Amino acid sequence: MRIILDIMSGDRAPLEMLKGAVEAKKEKYSEGVEYTLVGDESVIKKLAEENRLDISGFEIRHTEVVLDMHDDPMAVMKEKKDSSLGTGLRMLAGGEGDAFVSCGNTGALFCGSTLILKRVKGIQRAAIGAILPLTKPLMLMDSGASVKVNEDYLHLFGVMGSAYMKAIYGVECPRVAMINNGSEETKGGELQLLAYPKLMASKFINFIGNVEGNQLPFGYCDVALCDGFVGNIVLKTTEGMGRLMSAELKGMFKSGLGGILAYLLLKSQLKNFKKKFDSTEHGGAPILGITKTVIKAHGSSNAKAFKNAIRQAIQCERAGVVDIIAKEAAAYSEEKKRMAAEAQENSAE
Amino acid sequence: MRIILDIMSGDRAPLEMLKGAVEAKKEKYSEGVEYTLVGDESVIKKLAEENRLDISGFEIRHTEVVLDMHDDPMAVMKEKKDSSLGTGLRMLAGGEGDAFVSCGNTGALFCGSTLILKRVKGIQRAAIGAILPLTKPLMLMDSGASVKVNEDYLHLFGVMGSAYMKAIYGVECPRVAMINNGSEETKGGELQLLAYPKLMASKFINFIGNVEGNQLPFGYCDVALCDGFVGNIVLKTTEGMGRLMSAELKGMFKSGLGGILAYLLLKSQLKNFKKKFDSTEHGGAPILGITKTVIKAHGSSNAKAFKNAIRQAIQCERAGVVDIIAKEAAAYSEEKKRMAAEAQENSAE
């Protein structure tokens, strides 16, 4: 297996990405894994030397172009197709690797994944599945790629999210719920009203109904469905609330001698607390529904976050997430055909 | 001033509501305020006796009907028009009081407010403005009343929210932002794209652009605009995240002798922390854009929350929030007329 790494994208690139790659390569899960670093060769070599990082086992694919956060996503198809992000996706498409990890521009990575790697047959829209680090890991489908979706997309988001949670977290029969403004099936806007009966009738997901915002943090479901607009807001609001609470906690433990003493008393619990709600522990967000494994790591990733995103890419590859999704999508397409034929037969009778 | 209180609605009604009312009446802010309790007279008197609550200064309007959370909101206009919620609204409409506080069915209170009390002239849609207890109080407009809104509604939500934050919290020039999936004006769905230039051009609000979920907790704006679907999800997600964090904290301080010691060391800071993020401190959510002061208190309100919602109703009345909104709405209507006339003149030239 070969993992392709975008070393140049991200707020803390390239040094933190390089450190993360070197750390990941030392881990047991990297046995049998080869790595290609995409980026400026001289910069990578210089950084490695300065920071005493052993990059002898890495292959380097040289490119000086970087696609940044301010670039138009479509630049990955045109003026910045030779960027580290664009090059990585094209190498993957050309069979020069099995998975790609990047902290780059979300829109560009999503568009590039869809246009260069193509969608799995039967999947009408790919999605970004961020993992919320709550009481239990929760996959948010979609986390921000598509502002507007329809009820068919939502259903397939549920199918893909279930496949992921089963393969990576070992959840036997993932509970899928739709984010809504109430638990009743009559709640929501047009999308939710159309989607509810379809999701409920599906044989391909374990749909348990609507989920409200206050239930999300408490392990009510394993996959939460929504359009990318709501997904972005839920993802960022939980992130912001987590940050607010840590800031408040820090302030408390820094308040005088009592605070410092209390900190020392609770040190191990605080460490567990931090780890439990640390999104970097889960790696990045997989882009699901495309023909290869692509992991979007957070733009602000440090070495640890990037390292965990690499582990996640390897896990996805080993679990065969893309193949599982392809099989589910094919089975669903068959089911749709069968039902259409049945409906035609019935109307002919 | 007379405040009408719905004693029968809410998860913890009637006892907690009654306790809250009795406590509020003792406060300095109740000077010159008279109260009417709407509910079952014999139940109220019995509870007061059993709990030694002095209700001698309260007027009671008897009704045995209760409109609950499972009732259709429109029941307030029909089969449950004599409920404590419906009676309170009708008393207000008939001039038998100046403000109404209820923990009842949100939909019924909103529909009833709009249909019985009517909207302020120039306001096309009323809204519920929940206050999020974050770094700074933040008003979410709309918090859940209208799943579908248009750009004009959003603008007037901004006008009303600004009036409230200025009158009640003394914010001189409230910063209004639109909840969106990015900071750029090109972000969002159809609603956000239509609203952005309109909000930016308005003379009636201090629009500072888009706000993302991760900025909401940190005092980025005083009023956050969104449709009621997104509002409901943001409100409940922040609520859920707050609850998750307190549960985690509690667990930490209950973990062995070290935890208990740490708790004792941080007792006063923890109290401040709790108070700071306690939504009940702010009272309830005003229904803005109608001709009278109506406060929707949380369905799960205890005596303290109900008491604070009563204080909030008195503050709104004393600050003349309804009149301020009416003046702003009239000025905006004038401005619209002027601009329409100007446009016609220009096209005639």
pLDDT single digits (tens) B115-137? 999 999 999 999 999 999 888 89
**B80-92, pLDDT tens digit by residue?**
999 999 999 999 9
Neighbours of A318 (CB within 10 A): 15
Query: Residues B186-207: what's their mean pLDDT?
Result: 96
- Residue B144, pLDDT score: 93
Q: Which residues of A touch B216 (CB under 8 A)?
A: 237, 240
Gap between the Cα atoms of A326 and B303, Å rounded = 56
Q: Are A324 and A119 in contact (CB under 8 A)?
A: no
* Residue of B155, B222, B160 lying closest to B195 (CA atoms): B155
DSSP codes joined into one string, B145-162: S-SS--HHHHHHHHHHHH
What are the C-alpha distances in Å from A75 to residues A81, A290, B175, B186? 7, 20, 35, 17
CB contact under 8 A, A258 and B265: yes
Look at residue A279 and tell me whether its pLDDT is greater than 80: no
Asked if the C-beta of A130 comes within 8 angstroms of chain B's C-beta atoms, the answer is: no
CB contact under 8 A, A265 and B243: no
Gap between the Cα atoms of A3 and A225, Å rounded = 29
**A27-71, pLDDT tens digit by residue?**
999 999 999 999 999 999 999 999 999 999 999 999 999 999 889
Kindly provide the residue ranges of all beta strands, DSSP E only, lying in chain A, ordered along the sequence: 2-6, 34-39, 59-62, 99-102, 127-128, 130-133, 137-141, 175-179, 206-211, 223-225, 285-288, 293-296
- Residue A69, pLDDT score: 87
Q: Which residues of A touch B181 (CB under 8 A)?
A: 144, 147, 228-229, 232-233
Locate the chain B residue with the closest alpha carbon to A272. Answer: B252
Gap between the Cα atoms of B134 and A75, Å rounded = 39
Higher pLDDT, A291 or A273: A291
Q: Which residues of A touch B278 (CB under 8 A)?
A: none
pLDDT band at B274 (very low <50, low <70, confident <90, very high): confident
**B168-184, pLDDT tens digit by residue?**
999 999 999 999 999 99
Asked if the C-beta of A233 comes within 8 angstroms of chain B's C-beta atoms, the answer is: yes
Q: Which residues of B touch A238 (CB under 8 A)?
A: 213, 237, 241
Locate the chain B residue with the closest alpha carbon to A179. Answer: B233
Choose the closest CB to A244 out of B217, B262, B263: B217
Interface of B with A in 138-197 (CB under 8 A): 144, 147-148, 179, 181-182, 188-189
Q: Are B262 and B270 in contact (CB under 8 A)?
A: no
State percent of chain B over pLDDT 70.
Answer: 100
Query: Residues B338-347: what's their mean pLDDT?
Result: 86
CB contact under 8 A, B233 and A181: yes
- Residue A168, pLDDT score: 94
Choose the closest CB to A266 out of B234, B238, B262: B262
Gap between the Cα atoms of B99 and B81, Å rounded = 18
How many angstroms separate the CA of residue B258 from the nearest CA in chain A? 5
Locate the chain A residue with the closest alpha carbon to B148. Answer: A189
CB contact under 8 A, A252 and B266: yes
Question: B288-312 b/e with 16+ CB inside 10 Å = b?
Answer: bbbbbbbbbbbbebbbebbbbbbbb
CB contact under 8 A, B213 and A181: no
Asked if the C-beta of A134 comes within 8 angstroms of chain B's C-beta atoms, the answer is: yes
Locate the chain B residue with the closest alpha carbon to A210. Answer: B233
Look at residue A347 and tell me whether its pLDDT is greater than 90: no
Question: A300-313 b/e with 16+ CB inside 10 Å = b?
Answer: ebbbebbbbbbbbb
Q: Are B147 and B228 in contact (CB under 8 A)?
A: yes
Asked if the C-beta of B228 comes within 8 angstroms of chain A's C-beta atoms, the answer is: yes
Q: Which residues of A touch B258 (CB under 8 A)?
A: 265-266
Look at residue A277 and tell me whether its pLDDT is greater than 80: no
Look at residue B204 and tell me whether its pLDDT is greater than 80: yes
Higher pLDDT, A263 or A98: A98
Q: Where does CATH 3.40.718.10 sit in chain B?
A: 1-123+289-319, 125-279
Q: Which residues of B touch A299 (CB under 8 A)?
A: none
- Residue B134, pLDDT score: 87
Q: Residue for token digits 């140049």? A: A8
- Assigned token pair, A298: 């957070």
Choose the closest CB to B213 out of A189, A233, A266: A233
What CATH number has the domain spanning A133-281?
3.40.718.10
pLDDT band at B74 (very low <50, low <70, confident <90, very high): very high
How many angstroms separate the CA of residue A34 from the nearest CA in chain B? 36
CB pairs under 8 A between A and B: 147
CB contact under 8 A, B241 and A245: yes
**A168-187, pLDDT tens digit by residue?**
999 999 999 999 999 999 99
DSSP codes joined into one string, A90-132: HHHHTTS-SEEEE-S-HHHHHHHIIIII-BPTT-SS-EE-EEE
- Rounded to 10°, the helix A321-348/A303-319 angle is 50
Asked if the C-beta of A217 comes within 8 angstroms of chain B's C-beta atoms, the answer is: yes
CB contact under 8 A, A228 and B269: no
CATH value of B125-279 in 3.40.50.300, 3.30.470.20, 1.10.3720.10, 3.40.718.10: 3.40.718.10
Positive/negative CA dihedral, B190, B192, B193, B197: positive
How many angstroms separate the CA of residue A148 from the nearest CA in chain B? 7
- Residue B266, pLDDT score: 85
- Residue B48, pLDDT score: 97
Look at residue A250 and tell me whether its pLDDT is greater than 90: no
Asked if the C-beta of A242 comes within 8 angstroms of chain B's C-beta atoms, the answer is: yes
pLDDT band at A188 (very low <50, low <70, confident <90, very high): very high
Asked if the C-beta of A300 comes within 8 angstroms of chain B's C-beta atoms, the answer is: no
Gap between the Cα atoms of A76 and B186, Å rounded = 19
Mean pLDDT, chain A, rounded, equals 94
- Its ipTM equals 0.92
**A293-332, pLDDT tens digit by residue?**
999 999 999 999 999 999 999 999 999 999 999 999 999 9
How many angstroms separate the CA of residue B194 from the nearest CA in chain A? 15
Find the angle CA(A175)-CA(A286)-CA(B236) to the nearest 5 degrees. Answer: 50
What are the C-alpha distances in Å from B39 to residues B17, B55, B67, B97? 11, 13, 11, 16
Asked if the C-beta of A107 comes within 8 angstroms of chain B's C-beta atoms, the answer is: no
Q: Where does CATH 3.40.718.10 sit in chain A?
A: 1-123+289-321, 133-281
How many angstroms separate the CA of residue A282 from the nearest CA in chain B? 19
pLDDT band at A13 (very low <50, low <70, confident <90, very high): very high
- Residue A177, pLDDT score: 98
- Residue B92, pLDDT score: 97
Interface test with B, best of A71, A110, A147, A220 (most B CBs within 10 A): A147
Locate the chain A residue with the closest alpha carbon to B147. Answer: A189
Look at residue B255 and tell me whether its pLDDT is greater than 80: no
Query: Residues B36-57: what's their mean pLDDT?
Result: 97
Locate the chain B residue with the closest alpha carbon to A271. Answer: B252
Q: Does the domain at residues A1-123+289-321 carry the CATH identifier 3.40.718.10?
A: yes
Q: Which residues of A touch B135 (CB under 8 A)?
A: 244
Q: Which residues of B touch A275 (CB under 8 A)?
A: none
Look at residue B167 and tell me whether its pLDDT is greater than 80: yes
How many angstroms separate the CA of residue B265 from the nearest CA in chain A? 5
**B229-254, pLDDT tens digit by residue?**
999 999 999 999 988 888 888 888 88
Q: Where are the alpha helices (DSSP H) in B14-115?
A: 15-26, 41-50, 84-93, 106-112
Query: Residues B26-34: what's their mean pLDDT?
Result: 97
CATH topology of domain B1-123+289-319: Isopropylmalate Dehydrogenase (3.40.718)
pTM, rounded to two decimals:
0.93
- Residue B38, pLDDT score: 98
Q: Which residues of B touch A212 (CB under 8 A)?
A: 232-233, 236
